[in-house]
Copies of this chain bind each other. A is one copy, B any other.
Amino acid sequence: MARLNDNYCKLKAGYLFPEIARRVNAFCEADPDGKARLIRCGIGDVTEPLPPAAIAALHAAADELATRDTFRGYGPEQGYPFLRAAIAQNDYRDRGIEIADDEIFVSDGSKCDCANILDILGDQNHFAIPDPVYPVYADTNVMAGHTGAAAPDGAFAGLTYLAGNAENGFVPPPPTTGKIDVAYLCFPNNPTGAVATRAQLAEWVAYALANDVLLLFDAAYEAYIQDPTLPRSIYEIEGARRCAIEFRSFSKNGGFTGVRCAFTVVPKELTATTADGTRLPLHGLWLRRMTTKFNGTAYIVQRAAEALYTPQGKAQVAALVAHYTGNAAILRQAAATAGLRVFGGENAPYIWASAPDGLSSWEFFDKMLTDANVVITPGSGFGRAGEGWFRISAFNSRKNATEVARRLADLLKTNAG
C-alpha cells in the first residue's frame, strides 16, 4: 500500500503569498477603479530589465548551442569552472576571503538550496529558525519530519524560534538556554531588512564553534549592504569556515528571479558528525547530493551569471541595486515621517514598519489595499514575531515607489486626523 509523506499534512494550507493573491483578486473584482490604481509591493520580485551584459551573454550562449562544434550538453552538476571561478574570485578572494573555486556549487536558486541542504543533514538535529523570516526554512523542516504539529499561532513543535523584535533590532542573538544543532540566519533579512553587525555575527560564530552548531547563512540580499562596516559574507568572521554554509543568489542583484541562478558555499573544513561520532566534511556530501539529484544549471544561464562579473556587468548591477536602494530610502523616509517604527530599507530592499493604531498585520494589509490601493506584505505571514508589522518591497519603478510613499503618508495623515 503506497503511503504518502504524512508530514505534509502538518503544513498550514494558506501559505502567505497565495493568501495575498486571494485577497488582491477579491479586491480587484469588487473595485475596478482601485484595481486600476493598484501598486504591488507585496512579493519581493524585481521589476527592472536584465542588465545588458547578461542579455548579450544569453544571446551569445544560445548561438553556441546552434552549431555542432560549440554545442554543450550536460555540464558539471556543481557548475561550470568559469562561473565557479568568477564567483570565488570576485565575491570572496577579491574581498580578502579565502574561498576556493571548488567550494562554490552553482544551482538554479537559493530557495532550492536552502530547502535541499536538509538532504545531507541528519533528522536527529534540532533546528533553530529566526522569527520573523522567509517561510521556506520552517516549511521544509516540517516536510522533512523535523517537527510536530503546528500550534494555533502557527509555531511548530520541535523547532526553536529565534525571536526578532524592536529591542534586538530584529537581529536575534544565539539562544542562552536549550540545545540546538543547526541554525538558519538571514542577513540582510527577509522580511525585516535587518543586517547583523560584525560583532553580532562574531557572537553567532563563537557560539556555533563552542556548541558544535551548523549555521545556514542566507545572504541572498547581500548586494544591498551599502555600509562598509557591515559584513557581507559570514566568512568575513574568523572561524566561520568551520561552522557555516552560505547561500547566495543572482536574483536580487542581477535581477535573475526568472533566469534562475544561485550558489552555495561549502568550505572544505566544515564537518558534521556521523552516528559513530566520526567527523566528516559536508563538502563531499553536498557534492554527492548535487551530482545525484541535480543535473546542473542551464549553460546559457551560467554564461549570463558570469557576465555580471565583467566590468560592464558590475556597473550595470551596481546601477540596478542603486535604483532599488533609492526606492527603499524614499519608502523608509515616508514610513518614518508618518511616525511608524521602521527597520530595514538602508542596507536592504525591504522596509519593515509597525502597523499604526495597534492594527494587526492583516488588518493593515486590508486597509492599505482598500484605502491606498497598495499591496504590502503582512508581517505575521513571516512568523508570530511579525504580528503588528508589515513589509514594503522596494522592487518597483521609481515612479511607483514615490507614489506608494505619497499614498502611505496620505493614509496615515488621514488616519491621525
Using CB atoms and an 8 Å cutoff, list the residues of chain A in contact with chain B.
1-6, 8-9, 11, 15, 43, 45-50, 52, 55, 58-59, 62-63, 65-68, 71-75, 108-109, 111-112, 115-116, 119-125, 136, 139-140, 143, 181-182, 212-214, 255, 257-260, 272-275, 280, 282, 285, 288-289, 291-301, 397
With A52-B66, A259-B299: A2-B125 Cβ-Cβ less than 8 Å: yes
Task: Report the separation of the CA atoms of residues A75 and B260 in the bound assembly, to the nearest whole angstrom.
Answer: 10
Q: Is the CB of B2 within 8 A of A212?
A: yes
| A43 touches which of B49, B52, B74, B123 (Cβ 8 Å) | B74
Q: Is the CB of A73 within 8 A of B50?
A: no
Q: Is the CB of A50 within 8 A of B65?
A: yes
Task: Report the separation of the CA atoms of residues A8 and B121 in the bound assembly, to the nearest whole angstrom.
Answer: 10
| A48 touches which of B71, B74, B116, B143 (Cβ 8 Å) | B71
Closest Cβ–Cβ distance, residue A273 to chain B (whole Å): 5
Closest Cβ–Cβ distance, residue A255 to chain B (whole Å): 8
Which residue on chain B has the smallest CB distance to residue A108? B108
Contact partners of A258 in chain B: CB under 8 A: 65, 71-75, 296, 298-299
Contact partners of A274 in chain B: CB under 8 A: 3-4, 6, 9
Q: Is the CB of B47 within 8 A of A55?
A: no
Which residue on chain B has the smallest CB distance to residue A183? B2
Contact partners of A52 in chain B: CB under 8 A: 66
Contact partners of A296 in chain B: CB under 8 A: 258, 260
Q: Is the CB of B3 within 8 A of A288?
A: no
Q: List 30 A-B contacts (CB under 8 A).
A: A1-B212, A2-B121, A2-B212, A2-B214, A2-B273, A3-B272, A5-B285, A6-B122, A8-B289, A9-B280, A15-B292, A45-B74, A49-B68, A58-B58, A59-B59, A65-B259, A71-B258, A74-B257, A109-B295, A111-B293, A115-B292, A139-B292, A140-B292, A143-B289, A143-B293, A257-B295, A258-B296, A258-B299, A300-B300, A301-B301
